[in-house]
Amino acid sequence: MKKKNLSVKKKIHNFYSKKLDDPRIEKIYLKFKKNLSSHITNSFCVAVSGGVDSMALSFLAKYYSIENNKKIYFFIVDHKIRKNSTIEANLVKKKLNSFKISSNILTIKNEKISKNIQSFARENRYKLIIKQSLIKKIDMILTAHHSDDLIENFFIRLLRGSGLKGLISLSNIKSKVKLDDKISILRPLIDIPKKDLAYISKNTFSFNVNDPSNFDDKFLRAKVRKLISNLEKDGLTFNKLKLSLNNLSKSNYAIDYFVKKNINDNSKYLKLAKTIILKDDFFKQPDEIVFRSFSEVIQKVGKKDTLTRGAKIENLLKYLRSTNNYSKKTLSGCIIQKIENSVIISPEKGYNTSKLAQIGTC
């Protein structure tokens, strides 16, 4: 390596390592490193939004990659929802580059969205990052979710009437993505408060972009932040909520065990027909087990990225349990038909009645 390149490399390393002379930054980095080290592989990517949390993550991940000689990618998603989104994405890229972080901007196609704007942006952001991860053979996506997000997510799901699984959906440090099970999402900052990440961002890169929707009361998340702020005055803490989430997670683990057992024992997957046959015993389990089992098989056959909304699943289950009518129903890309004591779920696309007749029942 040329002397000039060695000098630049040393200068970069010195910039990052010098920041860890700050005891507060060092403490956060050590926690981040511990969370990361037990999960990370040879290459990973960082989802960068430009907010204080993702800028802090970018600093921590870059130093980790220097210290441990790991390959790292940084992806910035231009969601095209706000008129300044492209300007902001380019600004973030330029700023990262000034700290010797090479990044790629991924652009979401400009579409008209009338509702669920934040949900649309989130889902499409993941789709783009996952697509790039598959191309570059990355199996780990780092996100900047922090303890404030964990609390907010709990209350948002609670207000929407989510069940147990929904309430704890963000609590795991690592989870598989629904679009491709070869890739995992890792949340190494999930037990670190946003104020600590803001401190890192200010005292390292000294740069971030602000999303005005964070303060817009037309979005549920902004309302929930105000609710949490009031509850904190009455004694709500992250540790108290985390204890409750841990207990809920144990209950969820037990339910998941019986969901898998129900699917394994009481359903049969016909690979060639891409069809699942559910035995009568499938529906004789406790309600929550049946609900989750049914949701999973519908998702598998319909090849959907997310689970179907709960109310639609509940209504279909009530229908299947209360009727001997053999007429077909459709849901989430599936054809559902009751035949004798079995329920047959087939993909709506390419559905063939002659194939159905050949399947038989359990």
What are the residue ranges spanned by the domains of the chain?
A: 3-236, 249-359
345 neighbors 336 (Cβ within 8 angstroms): yes
Q: How far apart are CA 67 and CA 60, in angstroms?
A: 11
Secondary structure E strands in the chain: 43-48, 71-78, 103-107, 140-142, 174-176, 184-186, 267-270, 275-278, 329-331, 334-339, 342-347
Answer CATH for 249-359 from 2.60.120, 3.10.450, 1.20.59, 1.10.10: 1.20.59
3-state secondary structure 309-353: CHHHHHHHHHHHHHCCCCCCEEECCEEEEEECCEEEEEECCCCCH
Q: How far apart are CA 47 and CA 105, in angstroms?
A: 10
pLDDT in tens, the chain (362 residues): 455 555 657 778 889 999 999 999 999 999 999 998 888 777 899 999 999 999 999 999 999 999 988 889 999 999 887 778 899 999 999 999 999 999 999 998 766 655 566 666 777 888 899 999 999 999 899 999 999 998 888 888 888 877 888 888 887 888 877 666 678 899 999 999 999 999 999 999 999 998 766 666 677 888 888 888 888 888 888 888 888 888 998 999 999 999 999 999 999 999 888 899 999 999 999 999 999 999 999 988 988 766 777 788 999 999 888 877 667 899 989 999 988 889 999 998 765 545 554 554 44
Q: What are phi and psi of 185, to 5 degrees?
A: -100, 130
Per-residue pLDDT tens over the stretch 120-178: 677 788 889 999 999 999 989 999 999 999 888 888 888 887 788 888 888 788 887 76
Per-residue pLDDT tens over the stretch 23-70: 999 999 999 999 988 887 778 999 999 999 999 999 999 999 999 888
Tokens coding 199: 């401190």
Q: How far apart are CA 347 and CA 51, in angstroms?
A: 41
The β-bridge partners of 336 are 329, 345
Asked if 3-236 and 249-359 have one fold, the answer is: no
Q: How far apart are CA 165 and CA 157, in angstroms?
A: 10
The CATH code of domain 3-236 reads 3.40.50.620
3-state secondary structure of 296: helix
Tokens coding 198: 């803001």
